[in-house]
Amino acid sequence: MSTSAPETGPPAHDAKPEPENLTLHTQSSTLSAWLYLVCLSWQRQARVRHMVWISLALLALTALAVGVQTLSAGWGLEGRPWRSQGRWMGLTYEQALGETYVATSAIAPLGSPGAAGLDDGLLQSAWAVLQRSDFIRFSNSIFRIFVSFLLPLWSLSFGTEALGGDREGHNLLWLLTRPLPRPAIYLAKFVALLPWALALNLGGFALLCVAAGRPGLQALRLFWPAVLCATLAFGALFHLIGAYFRRPAIIALVYGFFLETILGNMPGYLKRLSISFYTRCMMYDAAGTFGVQPESPSVFLPVSGTTALLVLLGAAAALLLLGMYLFNRTEYVAAE
């Protein structure tokens, strides 16, 4: 078999050619491209209209339920009927406390002044708790609906859609073949999802609190930092899941509604692996003086609010950096 002589030019393997100076592209700016990507990604998050409408519908339903409760019976226990069996069955809490006060006042002259003072102090404490019961009950409702469901769900929707949507639609290659560093693409997508996640989480939380009246406004003032930090942490986590897994929404669902629930209810220190634990700790710390606390503090083992804040922000930063690193290393094949 004959072969012809090699063509002109050095063999490729012997010398590495020097990179050519890029004089053709001085008009382009990586920062400009990055900023545009943030803007484009933010706009495209809204293209999944179902997602936006479902989120708003959930918010509206929850706000409606809260508003109806506020306008009808309010959040306090004063006007609620005593539910347990006993002599106060059928009375409201306020009436039951009033009857107790009358009964103790009647027998007070027969006892010592100290005992009468103690009885009075206990009843006044009970009355103070009753007066704060609206905030406590609203807070418990917030934990049940907002922290356990709405916050993770809204964060999941926009967090996984940021990169997962492009992967599902085979559009990621348009970004990967642009002259943008990959970590910058990842960061741009995260920055773009934040307005949506924050608007729904913080804005939605504010709306619910306003709908609840006085206890809601108090809750808003105390709990908004926890909601903000949880949004950042959940957003970073779900964004990472969106970059790494093929079906990120499912993985995020498993984490958000299964692992978080299981870990959050585990005895001991295992619950400290869940984001909602630190969210609750921040909330308990902020509202501790108002009577809001875990059902079993010895089982829940809360950390201080400052620790929880640092953990949430640190987790958000660490997850973001990890995601940038993984996105830079991972190869995305268009056919997947």
Tell me if residue 133 falls in helix, strand or coil.
helix
Residue whose structure tokens are 């804005």: 203
Which has the closest alpha carbon to 215: 292, 277, 152, 295?
Answer: 292
Which range of residues in 173-181, 219-227, 280-288, 291-299 is near other proteins by CB under 8 A? 173-181
Site for other proteins in 283-322 (CB under 8 A): none
- The helix or strand, by DSSP H or E, that contains position 331, with its residue range, turns out to be none
Over the window 99 to 138, marking each residue x when it contacts other proteins by CB under 8 A and - when it does not, the resulting string is --------------------------------------x-
22 near other proteins (CB under 8 A): yes
* Residues that contact other proteins, how many (by CB under 8 A): 90
By beta-carbon proximity to other proteins, the closer residue of 11 and 114 is 11
Site for other proteins in 217-276 (CB under 8 A): 245, 247, 249-251, 253-254, 257-258, 261
Among 63, 129, 130, 180, binds other proteins (CB under 8 A): 180
φ/ψ of residue 92, rounded to 5: -80, 165
Supply the DSSP string of 294-323, one letter for each residue: -S-HHHH-PPPHHHHHHHHHHHHHHHHHHH
- Least spacing, CB of residue 91 vs other proteins, in Å: 14
Among 124, 140, 304, 306, binds other proteins (CB under 8 A): 140
CA atoms within 13 A on the CB side of 22: 6
Residue 226, C-beta contacts closer than 8 angstroms, at least 6 positions apart: 279, 280, 282, 283, 286, 308
- Least spacing, CB of residue 208 vs other proteins, in Å: 12
Site for other proteins in 75-104 (CB under 8 A): 75, 80-81, 83
209 and 130 Cβ atoms separated by less than 8 Å: no
Over the window 37 to 66, marking each residue x when it contacts other proteins by CB under 8 A and - when it does not, the resulting string is x--x---x--xx-xx--xx-xx--xx--x-
78 and 130 Cβ atoms separated by less than 8 Å: yes
27 near other proteins (CB under 8 A): yes
Residues 238, 316: Cα–Cα separation, whole Å: 10
Site for other proteins in 181-220 (CB under 8 A): 181
Which has the closest alpha carbon to 288: 314, 308, 273, 274?
Answer: 308
Which range of residues in 143-151, 196-204, 264-272, 294-302 is near other proteins by CB under 8 A? 143-151
168 near other proteins (CB under 8 A): yes
